[in-house]
A and B are shown apart, each in its own frame.
Chain A
């Protein structure tokens, strides 16, 4: 009995914060802190060029080597994290703020509202994502912020469809009828009953989108629509490294791994949030 008691609570805590979530949160904390404190943490300026040290391999002076213009890759990675994280969060935020309310209302109200919104979503989804993002960026003007808003608009129909499907299921639940029998308004039912019970797959989708947004930032930067030179972002760095793939293939590792690990950490974080929000776990 005492054994079970002593194991009971730590086990419950461990189930919520398992190794992957601890690692993910720690990693993200380091990345975010480093990005915010970049001017003080980075050993070199991210834009200062040194033509005597082009495409240098890692060394004691340059931990991750230098790029094609002799800039310190480690410093650019730290500075670039800010743009990449900001861009990814902005895109997902825009996508969520547009997509989730639209989807919830369409699914909850049904009828002609659902028909109209559904057709609009189908229209948006029928465009290739990157083409739509490029078109919107072109309309808004070139730059990281506009580019990632465009990516957010591209994301929104995906989230809207998911939110719509969830709302259609949850609105059939008996507790929605119970709330209605007390006289609850639609707004209250949406906010207090439908959204909390529809949110789980949305969280998973959002964290997957954070990872996709990191890559979308890379694509936009590749096309010259994202972060403008000489300022770094992970996507821009990856694009640049790609040009020197044969001469210096190790150039791709730093930004590539940064994107990969951050994306994985976002996914693990999403799973942790999902578990924490579910009282039945």
Chain B
């Protein structure tokens, strides 16, 4: 598979190589009547080569739609998406096919992502065939090599997906994605469908693959423990927009947005460095993206919401280098009544 390097030289390795870049990216789904469903409603971020970019959000926050948009499975309706410095919408079919090699996705449901009528061998060989990588014999060897890389022996090659466990199926999906030697791998809730006992194995596999192959990940999950474990930077998504974005330390130790704090409160044991003073669990459900609340979208569930939150959309501002937040009351204490909450006071002073 060396010819690939000749065909598409990689950009020079560097700390700040932007693999993917979203500027005010929007994905709206038109409906027969009424306003469109705004699944993703203007998010901006860069994914830098070699990092793991975590996106956390509840069900219905639009994170899966964003994942599909990042690998050109979902056309964007507004803003700009740049992959390897190019806009996928402007590419010819052949160029887009070549670009797709570099941007692969692993889906949440490992069973549904595998054609039930194909053997593991055929499934893993398919990306190679589509991209015309290698000769027939070369592909046969490459399939076994890929299976080995994800921890599956050659005896799995002739099995069908229904004969595999959930974890094994997800390994097959990973092998398929790796077959085309991607630069960026979008992992959409990749461990959510797996038993807890297998989740750790799978996360370690992702880590090993990143070290071996120099992969960049966009890791999308609703599980704070997972995202905090794997990510270098974390974005917090709510109802189609980002609420907060920062390094792992910034998000988990010095969260500014009430929503981020509520998420951290919901899973405290995952982040021991975050010492909770009082818990403020989120109430209610995420509102419908068909009719998002005015102003700040989180205000209907926010313990700090005041009039201004309903009146105006909070700006997406950089409060510290690399730490972005969209909140009128960012960093203010959650329910601090007597001012003894030193953590949040510290945050408040840091934010200003």
Contact = CB atoms under 8 A, between A and B. Distances in A.
Contact of A279 (B97, B98, B109, B162): B162
Given A182-B127, A183-B130, A197 B162 contact: no
Contacts of B112: 173-175
Top 9 A-B pairs ranked by shortest CB distance?
A183-B97, A174-B112, A182-B127, A279-B160, A175-B115, A183-B100, A196-B117, A182-B130, A280-B162
Contact of A178 (B72, B97, B113): B113
Contacts of A277: 117
Nearest to B131: A183
Interface residues of A, number: 20
A193 B173 CA distance: 16
B117 A197 contact: yes
User: Most chain-A CB neighbours within 10 Å: which of B71, B105, B126, B173?
Assistant: B126
14 contacts: A178-B105, A180-B73, A181-B73, A181-B100, A182-B130, A182-B176, A183-B130, A183-B131, A196-B117, A197-B115, A197-B116, A197-B117, A277-B117, A279-B117
Given A181-B73, A183-B97, A279-B162, A175 B113 contact: yes
B168 interface: no
Interface string A174-213: 1101111111100010001100110000000000000000
A108 to B, nearest CB: 15
B96 A181 contact: no
A222 B73 CA distance: 56
Given A183-B96, A192-B115, 19 more contacts: A174-B107, A174-B109, A174-B112, A175-B112, A175-B115, A177-B68, A177-B113, A178-B173, A182-B104, A182-B127, A182-B176, A192-B126, A193-B115, A196-B115, A196-B117, A197-B116, A279-B116, A279-B117, A279-B162
Interface string A160-181: 0000000000000111011111
Contacts of A183: 96-98, 100-101, 130-131
A175 B116 CA distance: 9
A183 B127 CA distance: 8
B180 interface: yes
Nearest to A281: B162
Contacts of B113: 174-175, 177-178
Given A179-B126, A181-B104, A182-B180, A280 B109 contact: no
Contacts of B72: 181
B49 interface: no
Nearest to A188: B130
Interface in B107-121: 107, 109, 112-118
Interface string A64-88: 0000000000000000000000000
Nearest to B97: A183
A280 B159 CA distance: 11
B107 A178 contact: yes
B131 A181 contact: no
Contacts of B162: 279-280
